[in-house]
Each structure stands twice: as C-alpha cells, then as structure tokens.
Structure 1
Amino acid sequence: MINLAIVASHPIQYYAPLFQRIIQESDLKIKVFYLWDFGITNQIDRGFQQSLKWDISLLDGYEFEFVSNTSKDKGTHHLFGLQNPTLTNQVLGFNPDAILLTVSYNYASIYKFLWELRNHNIPIIFRGDSHRILAKQDLKSKIKRLIIAKIFQNFAACLYVGKANYDYFRYHHVPEHQLFFTPHAIDNQRFSDANINLQEKVKLWKQELGIPLDSQVILFAGKFEEKKCPLDLIQAFIHAQLPSVSFLLVGSGVLESAIQDFAVQNQHIYLAPFQNQSLMPLTYAMGDIFVLPSYGASETWGLAINEAMCMGKPVIVSNHVGCAADLVKPFENGLIFEAGNVDALTDCLREAMSDRNRLKRWGEESKKIIANYSYDHVIAGLKQALKAVLK
C-alpha cells in the first residue's frame, strides 16, 4: 500500500471525482490536504463576480483535511493568498511515501513547504498545466526560465496534461524520463449519463429564453471576462449573419453589462445567468456547438471543452486555448482559429453552421476523442510516475 499525500489549493469539481476514483485502487491510499475552503462555503468568485458554493459534493468518498490558511486575503489570485504554516507537519503526520502537488508552486505556502521538505527524502510529484503558446524571448523571460527550471528540480517527476504542457516542462529542462502523461480530464461519466433524456428540458429552457425551437444554437458558457473574449464572439456572430441560428451566452462576470447591451440590440443573442455544476449538462445540451475564443496565456487548458465534448458537441477554440492541439481536430470535431482575429472566428462560425449533418458527425467524433481523456488514464500515468520515483 502506497501512502500518497495530495496537496490541493481547494476543493475543485474536476479533482474531487478523481480522488474518489483513486481510492478504488487497492494499492493506493490517499489523503488530500486543502489549503483553502473555496467551493464548499459561500464566497465571492472573482471571475463570476458573485458569491457561489458548488452544488455537487466535493468532499465525499476520500480522506482529506483542511490546513489553516492565515492569509488576510485568501485565494489563488496572488502569491500570499495561500499561507498555511502547519502544512508540512500535517502532511508528515500522514507518513507519506510520496507527495503529489496539484496546486501551483507559486504560492508562499508551497515555497515554504518545498524548503522544509528538502531533507526528508520524500519524492514530490508535480502536476501542472502551464504552456508557452505565447512564448517570449526577452531578458525577463530568460531569467524566469532559469528560476522555474531551478524550482522544478525539487520534483522527482512531473505530470503533464497535454502537448503544450509537455513542451512547457521540456523548455524548463525537466528530463523526459521524469515526465508522465496524465491527461486533463473531467467526470466523463457524469456528463455522458446526464446527456440522456435532456431534450425535453432543452425545449422548455428554449421556450423560457425565447429561442426558436428550430433554431441552431451557438453556445458560450463561462466567466464573462476579457481573457475569454465573449465580446469577440458576439462580434463574429453578428458579422456572420447566420440564418436560423441563435447565440446563447451563459454565465456572469465583469463584461455582463456590455453583453446585455448587445443582447438588447440583437434579437438572436440570448443570455442566461450563471449555472451551478448540477445544471451544466443541461447548459451544454442547449448548444449545437460550443465556442471558447480565449486570448492570452492564462487559458492553460479549457476544461469546458472536455465537458462539451462529453456531451457530444463539436467545438471551436482559439489557438491560445491549451487543449487545442490535443482535443480539437480541424474538420473532424471542430475548428481552430487565430486568437483575437474576429474575421477568422466569423469564418469558423459560417463554416461550422453551414452543414447540420456534418455538425452532428463532428459531435460524435468529439465523444470518441474525449474517451481517451479520462480519470482512468490520469491514474495510469500517476501510477507510472509513482513506480519510477519509489524504486
């Protein structure tokens, strides 16, 4: 039996089902150490600009404990948002054979943790999802590369989630033999199972929103914020002039007022409020295609694409979205466009919506592709890493 301590920033809807799945493995005993209680208590989400608490269970089915966070401004949005003085003692109290970090190293608490563990001879495995799609070669970037490479020397292995993330680790001099593939995944089963018998609910919600029942729907769901570029998508939709196609935006955030203004001016643009986790399968079921037009380096993967594909949806993503190279096969299950290029996005919308039957085939292909991005594949990669570091 391997004792695996997992350090996580806070309960996350994508990780909790993975932890539940891991304990079914007879040779792994895990305990998760949370550094913050966001997600299970009502707190303001900075992106959605509202108080929220996830409405699915994130703490059942596995062993965990919270580590007291003494930060005056708790959160993952800054270096000192996670300050957990007792982290090392609590983790060592579990007597771990190995430690898995699923939280970024770039927090005060993690730097302290790595320093305090330097003489304990416990292998640390790091799982990240950063990429260098927008690579810079200036002096600051070169210095940053050296610093990150030095930090990565603390890890006995690194788990990469996709092609862009693999390149990121290699750029920072992580040896290939220390890299193990653990694909970014969601609870595929929850979304696949929910996809059955949703059509009647889709009709009812369309009627409530005023969307014509025979209209195809382009869907955006997420935070209404600059990096996700919902305003670019609105402009592209308006320019595309698509017959019998509606555009539904689901979510909230700082751009909500601007988005509402467009919806008032265009009868084919519809808004729905933020939907909690239990309603996300229905949200994806509303769309005939899902679009994530993000710009910049901070869309490290885009797990909404996993969710949409589990629901059998074709997808359009910008080339800044981390999962683009892994999950989107142009003209097989979707399209990729140049981030920030509204004309290119307009062309993608026109192309995708020009053939209803082809769009359905793309959706079927999405389901096939995403089947290989599952928790079972994550666990297989994790086990390979553990075998390597615990020789």
Structure 2
Amino acid sequence: MSTRLAIVSSHPTQYYAPWFSYLSRQEQLELRVFYLWDFGVKAHPDPKFSRSVRWDLDLLNGYQHEFVPNRAKNPGTHHFGGLHNPTLAQQLGAWSPQIVLVFGYGWRSLLNLALQWRQSPLILRGDTHLLGRPRPNRVRTLVLRTLFTRFRSFACVGSANRAFYRAHGVPENRLFDVPHCIDNARFAAATLEEAAAWRRAHGFDAVKPLFLFVGKFEQKKRPDLLLQSFKQSALSDAQLGFLGDGEMKPRLLRATSESDGRIKVLPFHNQSEMPAALRAADCVVLPSQGSGETWGLIVNEAMACGTPALVSDHVGCAADLVIPGKTGWQFPAGNRDALTQSLLEANAAIRTRRDELRASAAAHIQAYSYETAGTALRKMLAEVL
C-alpha cells in the first residue's frame, strides 16, 4: 500500500527537484509537490543576486506537482510576507495526503499551514541552527517551542539543525536524520577536460591552486573578508575567483583591479555551467558570518566534484562535511588572521596532496545523497504512520 505524501516547498530548486523525481520512482510512495511560487522556472528579480534569474535546468520533470497561486504584493522568499497562498490548505485537502512534509516555517503561508492544518500529520524539514546567533530571545524561543508542537516529526538535515530542535524542546524520538543532499551525479560527471577548458576561458593558470568563492555577493557571506585574507596571505603562487553576483560586486571589482590577474570577479553562471567551475577549483571557500548560512549546499556541490572546502564555523554543514585536513578546513567566523592561516595551510596541502584531498571529498559526500536521504525519509514516514 502506497504512502500518499504531499510536500510543500517555496519554489522549484536545483537541489530538490531531482530528489523529488527520485522519490517519485520509489515503490510504495505516491508524491505530489505543492509549490508556493514559480521562481527559478520563470524569470524573477532576485534582490540578493541583483539580477533577474531563471535557471537553465528542467526543475519540473519526473514528479507530480502543482503551483498554489501566490497573492503576495511583493512575491519572494526574502521576507515573511513574500509567500501568501490563501488556497494552499484547499489544494492540499483536495489531494488528501496521508502526511504533509513542509519545507520551512518562516513565511506567512507556511506558518498559517502549521497552525491551521488538521487533516493529516505534519513533518518539518528546515535547516536553521544556532551557530552565530546572539543569545536566544526568550519570547522567540517560547514561540518556536509552541510552534514545533504542531509537527509530528522533524527531518534533520545535519547535526547543527538537530541541535537547534533539541534546544527548543523537541524530544529525541521525534528527530530523524534526513541529510541535506544535491544531485551528486550531475556534478561528479564534470571532467578534467571541462575543468581545464573553464580555467582557460576565464584566464586562470592551469596548475596554480585556485580558490573559488561561489554565491551571492552579500555581507553575510563575507566575500570581503576572503579578499582581505587572500591579500594578507601574500600567496603569489595561488589564484582566487569570485563567482556570483550581488550588491558587493562593485566593491569587489574595485579591490581586485590591482591584483596582477591573480584575483578575478567572474561573470554570473547559470546552473549548467556550475559543475565545470567547481571541478576547476582546488578549494571552494565559504566564509559566512552569522546565522544566515543555514547549511551551504555549495559545499555539497563542490565535494561531489571532488573539490574540498574551506568554511567558517558558522556554516551549518561545517561539522558534518568539513573534516579538517581531509575534506577541507575550518576557521572561526569573522577572524581574518585565522582565515589567512587556513588559506596558507590549504594552499600547501593542495600542492602536495591534491589528489588525496579530492578523493576524500568525493568519497565523504556519498553519504549525503538522494538515495541516503530517501531511505531515511521512507523510514521516517513509516514511523509517523
């Protein structure tokens, strides 16, 4: 007998759409995804990328889905009111799911669903953590403790996320490990030839270690700190690239203009271009500071390409994915001198152990796959039912 599972998600993403397709092919699982916005499959402005974005992958193939009309005056996931879907409960009810898996709670529609839905059990999948947060606000803590009583179980994406739920009173028997994952196979397929061509196309030396920042050029991700640390390191035998877009781009361009070509701000890449870029890098750097970097799925993508990562200890995936000296390096968030030292250590390791580091990263990420997460989810559903 099949389990009828509804998933409620903000919008189609390159991370989850292939997983939904994978889950839909599993026996004894009938799946339908309810999207609250069409960002990604239609072009919409992304305030943090400072541009309109439409991904060049098919994000709707291989699984049942429907869009719930978004009536927000200013649609988007960058603010609480950006997802306002008055017919969500009605559309869910018409499909009659046995379980509803909700991705997040920080938007109007998802909060309303958590408070009002009574037809079937709710499961929560989020990636919030306590890393880099100020002292907990007692009112916020009380509100979250109350909200979390509305969910039967919690799909924890990693250890920091699990600790967040525990800190808000969720008992252990309601916590299940369903690890954060991406389409490992798509990234692993990037070849050495594609990586070499990418380096040539963007003016990077074919041999010198290449550090790559990938993401939105915004304050929480601290590309400025990476730039300062790289310059402080005086690594004349290494290169640094900034791949993305956002409000800090003009500042980065000005600062890299006198770098003798060792530091480059690269053009925005769409999704189909990312595997070659990540395979070309020797280390992906994510120096985020504060609680905003809930996981850092770019680290999954990099490791699927066999590329280690250097991350701050505020990045949600740090404890799970980044094994110092083996799959990458960690440093205390916001500490320029510590990041400088980590860059020096990483550069030396890449020069002497490049193949070993790549193999370790690629092997470690296999435990964070659609298959692993799917097996864990099916076990969770069986427990809930």
Q: TM-score, normalised by structure 2?
A: 0.96
What CA deviation, in whole Å up to 9, does each residue of 1:151-184 have, x standing for no partner? 0101010010101000001011111101110000
What CA deviation, in whole Å up to 9, does each residue of 1:5-41 have, x standing for no partner? 1101001110100100001111000111100110011
1:113, CA displacement in angstroms? 2.0
| 1:20 counterpart residue number | 21
Which segment drifts farther, 364-373 or 376-385?
A: 376-385
| 1:233 counterpart residue number | 226
| 1:180 counterpart residue number | 176
| 2:212 counterpart residue number | 219
1:208, CA displacement in angstroms? 3.3
| 1:124 counterpart residue number | 122
* 1:291 paired residue among 273, 279, 285: 285
State yes or no: 1:365 paired with 2:363.
Answer: no
CA distance in 2, matches of 1:137, 1:231: 26
| 1:160 counterpart residue number | 156
What CA deviation, in whole Å up to 9, does each residue of 1:295-326 have, x standing for no partner? 11010000000000011112110000000000
Secondary structure of the corresponding residue to residue 265 of structure 1: coil
1:250, CA displacement in angstroms? 1.0
Secondary structure of the corresponding residue to residue 82 of structure 2: coil
What CA deviation, in whole Å up to 9, does each residue of 1:279-304 have, x standing for no partner? 00011022111111011101000000
Q: Percent identity?
A: 41
| 1:55 counterpart residue number | 56
1:136, CA displacement in angstroms? 3.5
Contact 1:215 1:244 in 2 (8 A): yes
1:116, CA displacement in angstroms? 3.1
State yes or no: 1:378 paired with 2:345.
Answer: no
CA RMSD of aligned residues (A): 1.3
CA distance in 1, matches of 2:360, 2:198: 26
| 2:113 counterpart residue number | 113
**Change in CA separation of 1:224 and 1:162 when aligned onto 2, cut-off 3 Å:** same
Secondary structure of the corresponding residue to residue 85 of structure 1: coil
CA distance in 2, matches of 1:365, 1:113: 42
| 1:328 counterpart residue number | 322
| 1:261 counterpart residue number | 254
Give, as a single letter, the amino acid of the residue that structure 1 aligns with 2:159: K
Q: Which runs of 5+ in 2 are unaligned?
A: none
| 1:133 counterpart residue number | 131
Contact 1:214 1:244 in 2 (8 A): no
Matches within 5 A, 1:287-326: 287-326=281-320
Contact 2:115 2:147 in 1 (8 A): no
Q: Which runs of 5+ in 1 are unaligned?
A: none
CA distance in 2, matches of 1:225, 1:111: 27
Q: How many pairs were matched up? A: 382
| 2:197 counterpart residue number | 204
1:212, CA displacement in angstroms? 2.5
Secondary structure of the corresponding residue to residue 176 of structure 2: strand
* 1:350 paired residue among 327, 344, 348: 344
1:51, CA displacement in angstroms? 0.8
* 1:251 paired residue among 244, 248, 252: 244
1:211, CA displacement in angstroms? 2.1
Secondary structure of the corresponding residue to residue 105 of structure 1: coil
Secondary structure of the corresponding residue to residue 80 of structure 2: coil
